[in-house]
Structure 1
């Protein structure tokens, strides 16, 4: 028998335990990550129980009359252990929808976890969404390298990497988030954008997840020319932020970092994720950005958002 109940702070240990056992959860779904910006969101998360025992969690936040899973995360959805099977997943979605509908919510936005971040097959949720009549609301395309199987670099890419080495650039892990964040801000300003995380937020998250959040820099004579902030999910790693100075772009510093990470530092992993290259809820493809990622062997996977009517 499946039931659901609202998450409370007293459930933190149980919540985290389920995330760590789940087929699709990672450190982004631990409460110490989710709650770093809790002041921005009204939490509506649920714990799913099977015969009275927690078997899944559902990160969620409230936006007007809409439930999002989750507004502060790239992806969320039902994070279930292997105890959850197809039929129990259908029951869980029925109970989740009923819970929010009873609370007066109109609809639910479901951000599915892309399959490359699964630790074990887990797409019962997509079947349940289909059964509920969910609509595909948004689809972003992200570029991912399957490490060890990627296409060979072009001559131009190899030339740029060799140029970076000749510029005496050295790639190394670093804790100097302040310099990297300043570089990101300058880069974002040039493009008329803003960095999502403040320096304080990055420092806080880094202190909470020192092994999972790692900064790699390319420097020459002590000068920072490029950096990559990596989120390490285990079998897959993700470039949360990539940044380069004007000199770094001339010298190919970021190309060198990515080459070192894919071919050396994370060569034992399965996937290296560059993130999305779409804007306007997936309706616009940044061709230059996606081409850069494809130049390293990245190919497309989708980040899907589904909309479910709860009325």
Structure 2
């Protein structure tokens, strides 16, 4: 199964309480593609400048990620982002953003990508997301992610886009910002009314919520002892979730959706263990399945129904 993804590729400079990294590979499309490549074929549509390091391209190629849709802008500079994490590792403070070639990005879809059955619109300007969606044949599944900036300055564009997507992912702060609803369960219900069949609210170290019209699924995050860099964790979650879902072939099956959330959680948990893609570079399928099994044990609850034999204790009043 193939996934076509559009989003950003960046060179990030990051500082956390546990270290720093300068000019490392990042971006929503990068993290999504790399995580998704463990489950399915990925076709990437993005733009970089002539300054983009060739070793990064080779890294993506070695993962089998299709780069026919990657534009290299002549004389252009790659999108750059600098961020700082302090005590609260759930929130990054943006120090500097240089959009560079991303400011004028218009996706160009190779002819052999146009019929890709599954499309994911990673975090980028919703007008760019719509532009790509209008350039492909009707896929069987469309997923979308966003961020607080687009909710603030492109709310109308995002609203139009949501009417055309099946799966919408965003974090808890974005869900509250977009809906104006504090309670995340109610926010998920509100978001589904805007178009998506499936809404996933990512809560960082507190897990995730998946909501459909038929059921609700709530999971914690996988407990990681050493969190070095949470940058891209949400994109890795999306990559693991979406690719696991499409690989199953049963897109809206409840069991498949629940499993996809766990795979998303697992991929995010590996990503935070080091800067950039350093941990994912050494990752293999056996490690993914092992952590999936560990997560299952950690969250297992006895399925046997003991309610019929349960008798509340009698408490005497004094």
The TM-score with structure 2 as length reference comes to 0.28
Higher RCO structure (Cα 8 Å, ≥6 apart): 1
More strand by share: 1
